[in-house]
Amino acid sequence: MTLRISVIGTGYLGATHAACLAELGFDVLGVDRSAAKVDALSRGLVPFHEPGLDELVAGHTASGRLRFTTDLAEAAAFADVHFICVGTPQQSQGTAADLTAVFDVAAGLAPHLRHSTVVIGKSTVPVGTAAELAATLRARLPLGVEAEVAWNPEFLREGHAVQDTLRPDRLVFGVTSPGAELVLREIYAAAIERGTPVHVTDLATAELAKVAANAFLATKISFINAMAEISDRAGADVVALADVLGDDARIGRRFLDAGIGFGGGCLPKDIRALAARAAELGAPSIRALLEDVDDINLRARDRAADLAAAMCGGDLDGRRVALLGAAFKPLSDDVRDSPALHVAAALRRRGADVRVFDPAAANNARAVAPELTYVAHVDAALHDADLVVLATDWPELVALDPGRAGALVRSRRILDGRNKLDEEAWTAAGWAFRALGRAAAPVATAPVAPAPAPTPAPTPAPRRPGRLRS
């Protein structure tokens, strides 16, 4: 018989997971305490932007394989297995994760359970949470009913969530019994048959796997942004540097794009939560490491604002700035902890008249930063601009034509906040081009001593003609 599965929490993670389980052929009930969310999803509407998800939700709600409810008792009666996918945001007073929703689900579900089950955590939690959750659950179960807690973290990226869920690159099953492992193997049979590696671990390792993966990615980005700072001081080029590092198979080129840094609903909160947990576990130097990662990341945003001011002669007062991108990354309408919006706000505070354009995130951005001016078309942002800042590397923004853009602006100055633009094309079109970690540096432009070679070295041309200097 097909497994019946409840997915509790239908935010970004839960809605995707529920729809993908339905796609795999399971009968799925999504549960959320927000009646508005349940109502929208029940009508086949996804309340956020994620490529491919609308089709899955619409198709499977229409067929009845995917339903939604606000009622945990209904979930308890319906499902053989329960996934917990609720949010674990940063605490309002502090940096640790707020686990209220996770424990509320366990406490709310347990008394309704009538048959033994596995409760599988997917939310990102501090290591040690699963064991506590099991105790919470056990304390509230009806007599004779058993519930095992397992942990099965997800590694999905926004913008690729459906693909990452249906075709994960690895599976982690944190379990305390062979029975729970079998349940997880049944749920993920399709991926396992395709050869997806499965890591069967204890609960703590499974919880930590997710947090550690995100901390590593964040550290990788901050490392290259640290090298961008060094490059700016030493006159090196961080993009060329990243290419060199990336050719080392042990390092790899991905996540070495320097710029205004990482944001979103995961990496920033996860490194802060891990820092807080490290301190609780008596490891202050690990906390210090992660705090440095956070500091370097936030500093990149301020460095971008400083560079913008330098490009405008040191003063942004009254300058019109076209800020391209508001989402924390391309192909997303998510503006949580968005570096782009942070930079926009910093420029505005320095007196700039900032016009923000984003292909998908303007509405969300307006809700969190209503003081900024949003425009519906990129041309409206560029019109009469004294400075253009690429803040989110949407493909259509990276592909902007420098000639056409140049005809719209007042001054051809562009700050590539993502190190994604074709510098040669922009400078050839007469733009002053700057980027973090690619300073027009003294050693790059100073005369170079002739190399002791048989033919004299050609006189080095300035590498970036037309660059403004800070």
Q: Which is nearer to ligand UDX, 262 or 431 (CB)?
A: 262
Q: Which is nearer to ligand UDX, 266 or 341 (CB)?
A: 266
Tokens of 450: 């002739």
CA 163 – CA 173 distance, rounded (Å): 19
What x-and-dash track marks residues 191-220 binding ligand UDX by CB under 6 A? -----------------------x--x---
236 is a contact residue toward ligand UDX (CB under 6 A): no
Contact between residue 417 and residue 391 where contact means Cβ atoms under 8 Å apart:
yes
329 is a contact residue toward ligand UDX (CB under 6 A): yes
Residue 266 annotated to the active site: yes
Contact between residue 174 and residue 205 where contact means Cβ atoms under 8 Å apart:
yes
257 is a contact residue toward ligand UDX (CB under 6 A): yes
* Minimum CB–partner distance for residue 242 and ligand UDX (Å): 8
* Minimum CB–partner distance for residue 362 and ligand UDX (Å): 17
Q: Where in 153-182 is the site for ligand UDX (CB under 6 A)?
A: 155-158
Backbone angles phi, psi at 424, to 5 degrees: -60, -45
What x-and-dash track marks residues 278-317 binding ligand UDX by CB under 6 A? ----------------------------------------
Locate all alpha helices (DSSP H) within 161-313, ordered by sequence: 161-166, 178-187, 189-193, 203-234, 238-246, 267-280, 284-311
Q: Which is nearer to ligand UDX, 268 or 402 (CB)?
A: 268
Q: Which is nearer to ligand UDX, 61 or 168 (CB)?
A: 168
261 is a contact residue toward ligand UDX (CB under 6 A): yes
* Minimum CB–partner distance for residue 371 and ligand UDX (Å): 22
Q: Is 32 known to sit in a ligand binding site? A: yes
DSSP H or E segment with residue 343: helix 339-349
DSSP string, 383-411: TT-SEEEE-S--HHHHT--HHHHHHH-SS
Q: Which is nearer to ligand UDX, 32 or 158 (CB)?
A: 158
Q: Is 156 known to sit in a ligand binding site? A: yes
Which stretch in 59-67, 249-257, 312-320, 364-372 sits in contact with ligand UDX by CB under 6 A? Answer: 249-257
CA atoms lying within 13 Å on the CB side of residue 328: 17
Q: In this chain, which of 26, 83, 151, 262 binds ligand UDX, going by CB under 6 A? A: 262
- How many residues belong to the site for ligand UDX (CB under 6 A)? 19
**Residue 171 pairs with which residues in a beta bridge?**
198
In angstroms, how far is the first alpha carbon of the chain from the final one? Answer: 68
Which stretch in 29-37, 112-120, 151-159, 423-431 sits in contact with ligand UDX by CB under 6 A? Answer: 151-159
11 is a contact residue toward ligand UDX (CB under 6 A): no
87 is a contact residue toward ligand UDX (CB under 6 A): no
- Look at the alpha carbons of 149, 151, 156, 161 in this order and tell me if their dihedral is positive or negative: negative
266 is a contact residue toward ligand UDX (CB under 6 A): yes
CA 216 – CA 49 distance, rounded (Å): 26
359 is a contact residue toward ligand UDX (CB under 6 A): no
389 is a contact residue toward ligand UDX (CB under 6 A): no
Q: In this chain, which of 75, 110, 149, 256 binds ligand UDX, going by CB under 6 A? A: 256
Q: Is 157 known to sit in a ligand binding site? A: yes
Tokens of 459: 């006189």
Q: Is 124 known to sit in a ligand binding site? A: yes
DSSP string, 218-251: HHHHHHHHHHHHHHHHHT--HHHHHHHHHTSTTT
Q: In this chain, which of 126, 174, 264, 325 binds ligand UDX, going by CB under 6 A? A: 264
Q: Is 351 known to sit in a ligand binding site? A: no
CA angle 369, 294, 99 (to 5 degrees): 75
Burial 314-329 (b: 16+ CB within 10 A, else e): eebeebbbbbbbbbbb
Q: How many residues does the chain have?
A: 470
Tokens of 313: 């002669």
Q: Is 263 known to sit in a ligand binding site? A: yes
Classify 130 in phi/psi space as left (phi over 0), alpha (psi -120 to 50) or beta.
alpha
Q: Which residues bind ligand UDX (CB under 6 A)?
A: 155-158, 214, 217, 221, 255-257, 259, 261-264, 266-267, 328-329
Report the binding-site residues. 32, 37, 88, 124, 155-158, 210, 255-259, 263, 269, 329, 336
Known binding-site positions for substrate: 155-158, 210, 255-259, 263, 329
Catalytic residues: 266
Residue set of the binding site for NAD(+):
32, 37, 88, 124, 158, 269, 336
